[in-house]
Structure 1
Amino acid sequence: MSAPAISLHRVGREAQPLVVIDDFAADPDALRAAALSSTFGPALQHYPGIRAALPDAYVPTQLAVLADVLGPLLARAGAVEVVDASFSIVTTQPDALDIRQRIPHCDAFGAHRIALVHYLTPGDGDGTAFFRHRSTGFETIDEDRAPIFFGQLEAEFRHGGLPPARYVTGDTSLFERTMAVEARYNRALIYPSYLLHSGSIAPDALLSSDPARGRLTVTAFLSVTA
């Protein structure tokens, strides 16, 4: 297995950091094997699919890879706390999405929170897209911006109707896509959790609950002090 290849990108006008790491795990096939033997259950907090527990060694092993990334690239040099981490598979069909799943979202409002997505489906596929809210210009939603953002969204829904029942992958009347990163086997993305983003799920994507066939990832949320 090759050593991890790390690249830094800047998202949108706010130039928020996005780190892409290829060859993230030393043995991704072993992770897939672990997922195939795991018991998945309904996800919480609006994730459109199912989740399962990770092998015990995953977090400490991959945090060692991130140790050289969080400080110099994301300007977060403090202690790392794992808020949540699990295998995840998107399974919700587009016509079953609720309103929160049809638009870009953020995972937390604090600048100290970091999101990680680790793709474990062989071959290229549906990745992750990042967005700007057109009417406010917001690309990140912190605690100060949240009331403005959600109030504006409510007004837009009231006057323009709800967004269609589908995953958001590109530009819409309310949001402009600022960047998209393709999924690749054993690629990880690390970015501030308050960036507006969405899984870029194609309309014809196979949304299987079988980890051998579905969109298998690891999703993790970290808290990193300055």
Structure 2
Amino acid sequence: MFESGGGVSALEAARTALHSAERRVGVRHQSEVLAPVPQHLEPLTALLPGGVLPAGAAAVVSDSVGLLGWLLGATQQGKWLAVVGWPALGAVALAEAGVDLERTFLVPDAGGQTVAVLAALLGGIDVVVVGPGALVTGAEQRRLLARARQHGSTILSPETWQGATLRLQVEHATRGGIDHGVGYLREARLTVVRTSAADGPGRRFTVDRDRDSAITVQAPTWASDARTSAG
């Protein structure tokens, strides 16, 4: 039997405690509807410090060709692009990612002159994507990065680049569409860890692409296990 006292009965206190417990474990009464906590969504460029690719620097986007293409489309804004040594990243894929092909050079095979071609492009192109087929040594990476700094160009690579100041690594990805998104991508959710010289330790983002091709980024959390070096 409950006894009253102190202005609040033991029964009322028990009901309050039960109500609090129900909220914690997700129990809902028919007469009660709890609105979900809204997510703070931002455009894809929120993945980048300052919302732009770093000029005069190298950036790495690993483990997702799709994310790299989306970033090119989201940040081009009248810039000239070049893609070297990446036959699989062709005109159709770039156009679907929002890239302006009229301001894009595609060099699937540099014919044994990879370093010379890259050096020439870095002298006049805003963003140069160095694909997996454009094999360059560590020493060549450092020389090309010095040229990018001289001309204010950006090197973008899907693989490790010595001296890179930004790295976006996809930890986990789920995709929807024909053959789970392999045949024709309709939806995607990526967990991306950003490691940047601009803002210190890594941060973890969630990137969503919906059926209407809209791409948004949820507010980041700290990624305590991320590396402190972008390259």
TM-score tier by shorter-chain length is: under 0.3
* Higher RCO (C-alpha 8 Å, min separation 6): 1
Q: Which protein shows a greater Rg?
A: 2
